[in-house]
Structures are given as C-alpha cells and as structure tokens.
Amino acid sequence: MVSRRSWVEQIMGLPVSVLARGELADSAQADAAVRAVFAELVEADRLFSPFKPGSAVSLLARGEVGWDDVDPVVRAVAERCDRARDLTCGRFDPEVPGGGWDPSGLVKGWAVERAGKRLREVSELDWCLNAGGDVLVLCPSKRPFTIGIQDPGDPGRVVATVARADGAVATSGTAARGAHLYDPRTGEPVLSRWLSVSVSGPSLEYADVLATAAFVAGEEWPAVLDALPGYEGLGILANGNLLATPGWPAAGSAAG
C-alpha cells in the first residue's frame, strides 16, 4: 500500500493543506518541507494581507511608507502585477478604484507556487498543495491526483474533476465570498451569468490571474485564456450547465 500523509493549517484566512503520497510521505524530510511551506505562506500573508494593519499593503495604503521603503519582494510582486495587467488587457489590476494597491488576485497563486519549491526538494514525493481551492500538484510517479471542481451553488458538491500529475488549477467566482469581484476597467461590480471559471495550466500564479480575468470577462472568458499557451478553462453557469475549452484535461481514474 502506498503511504499517504496530510497536513492542514489556517493561513491567509483559508485552509491550506498538503497531501503527500509515496515512500517518503511519512518521512521527517517531508514533514520539514511542509512546515517550511506553511512558514513561507504565513510570511507572505504578513507582507501582503490587506486585512493586517502592519502589512506592506496596509502601510502603503495609509501612506506611511513609500515604494522605496518596502521589502524588495513587495516591489517584485508589484512588477508581476503590472505584467499580469498587461497580459489580461486590464481585466486584472491591483490598483483599487478610489486609490490603493491590492495584489490579492495574484499573491496567493504566486506565494503557493513559490512555497511549493520546498516540496519539490523532496525527491520521488507526490504532493498536492491546496490553498482554499487553488491547487498545485507534482507527481514524479506520473500517477495524477484528481482535483474536484466545487459547485458554486452548493459548496458540498463536486460538479467536475480534473486529473493532473503536474501543474495547477485555480478557480474564481462567487462561491466563497459572494459577488466581490469588479471590472478594473470600469470600477463596476461584475454582473455575469457565470458563477465560476476554473483554469488549469502549468503555473498557479498565472492560472489564478487568468481565472480572475476570465470571470471578469463574462461571455468572452474563453478568449482570455489565449493570452498564454497551455491554459484551459471550465465555466459553470447559474443554471448548472458547464462549458469547457477544447483542451480541458479529462479526469483520471486514480484519485489522490
């Protein structure tokens, strides 16, 4: 029987879990890597949370520091946000209407992907890192994990699955936080008959950005994924119907 072990902590206001599979799943090496992942995500939350008064995001918003005063990693994320804004033709934008800077639409995917490097250092370990439904996986065994796509109208129900042995799946929509997204180009709330858009691809950072931009795009969401090669999507309508782009990966028979 293949060994499995799981860990979970509450970080960024979300459950963050790691599922490890393989001979090293119960090893001290795997445990240390997971603890390092959690520590990196806690540090990212300390720097970037708009809800923490001492974060760089909050200090910038209050004008207590300037860009020259923040940690270099904050400036690096700002540059990544600028590239994401250009990539999505403005459908993703960290600039908040009325003033302020909030990179939340990019930071979670970026932070999870960066922290996942710790797990990559444990050779021959299959792992699935899940941060509130945004998922990064790597399976040296080539046996994929099967990732469930949540029903936006019923969080306890899975409406589709996708198999991945490497790469990421991110979802943007109304299930977790209600109608909270706005179109950066107009500053107006997003009104769409789509309840969620999930994006699968090689990078969680860009899957997250593209999922947000696709949801903002509404009826045009499949075209947004053409901005980068290797990304496919699944949209869920309010009536429960699904629409997948042609390359959306099929579910496998091997569950994680």
Rounded to an integer, what distance in angstroms lies between the CA atom of residue 120 and that of residue 135? 15
* pLDDT value of position 179: 47
In a domain, 251, yes or no: no
Residue 175 lies in a domain: yes
Helix, strand and coil in the chain, % to nearest 5: 35, 30, 35
Give the model confidence (pLDDT) of 194-211 as tens digits. 899 999 999 999 999 999
Residue 90 in any domain: the answer is yes
Note whether residue 254 is domain-resident: no
Domain count along the chain: 1
Which structural domain range is residue 185 located in? 4-244
Residue 48 lies in a domain: yes
- pTM of structure: 0.92
Q: Mean of the per-residue pLDDT values for the chain?
A: 91
Domain contains 41: yes
Cα dihedral 186→188→192→198 (10° resolution)? 80
CA–CA dist 165, 251 (Å, integer): 11
119-141 pLDDT, tens digit each: 999 999 999 999 999 999 999 99
Which amino acid is residue 12, in one-letter code? M
Classify residue 51 as exposed, middle or buried by CB count within 10 Å of its CB (0-12, 13-18, 19+): exposed
250 occurs within a structural domain: no
Q: What pLDDT digit, counting tens, does each position of 4-25 carry? A: 999 999 999 999 999 999 999 9
249, part of any domain: no
CATH of the domain at 143: 3.10.520.10
Checking if the pLDDT of 182 tops 80, the result is no
Residue indicated by tokens 């800077």 = 101
